[in-house]
């Protein structure tokens, strides 16, 4: 039982860490995409057309 419990604890800890690492990377990527993907402001047409 003791060994099984330690295995379960280790797996849980690794999974939680793994999720947060992957989510953090996705978060960073989305932040970058949002940063570089901002739609450019259209320049005013001097002729007003």
Partner 1 sequence: MDFLSFLWEYIAQVTWQQAVMWVIGGLLIFLAIKKEMEPALLLPMGFGAILVNLPESGVLGENGIIQWLFDVGIEAAEVFPLLLFIGIGAMIDFGPLLSNPKLFFFGAAAQLGIFLTLILATLCGFELKDAAATAIIGAADGPTAILVANKLQSNYLGAILVAAYSYMALVPIIQPITIKLCTTKKERAIKMTYKPGSVTKLTKILFPILVTVIAGLIAPASLALVGFLMFGNLLRECGVLNSLSETAGKVLSNLITLLLGITIAFQMQGEQFLQWQTLLIMALGLFAFVFDTVGGVFFAKLINLFSKEKINPMVGAAGISAFPMSARVVQKLGLEADPSNHLLMHAVGANVSGQIASVIAGGLLLRFVEATLGTIGI
Q: Rounded CA gap, 17 and 32, in Å?
A: 23
Residue 10 parent element (H or E): helix 2-36
Q: Which residue shows structure tokens 């604890």?
A: 9
| Closest C-alpha among 24, 18, 40 to residue 10 | 18
Of 2 and 48, nearer to partner 1 (C-beta) is 2
User: Is residue 34 involved in binding partner 1 (CB under 8 A)?
Assistant: yes
For position 5 contacting partner 1 by CB under 8 A, the verdict is yes
Among 39, 41, 43, 45, contact with partner 1 (rule: CB under 8 A): 39
- The site for partner 1 (CB under 8 A) is made up of 1, 4-5, 7-16, 18-23, 25-27, 29-31, 33-34, 37-39
């Amino acid at each position: 039982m003791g060994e099984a419990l330690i295995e379960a604890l280790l797996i849980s800890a690794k999974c939680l860490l793994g999720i947060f690492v992957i989510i953090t990377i996705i978060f960073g990527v989305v932040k970058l995409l949002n940063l570089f993907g901002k739609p450019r402001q259209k320049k005013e047409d001097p002729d007003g057309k």
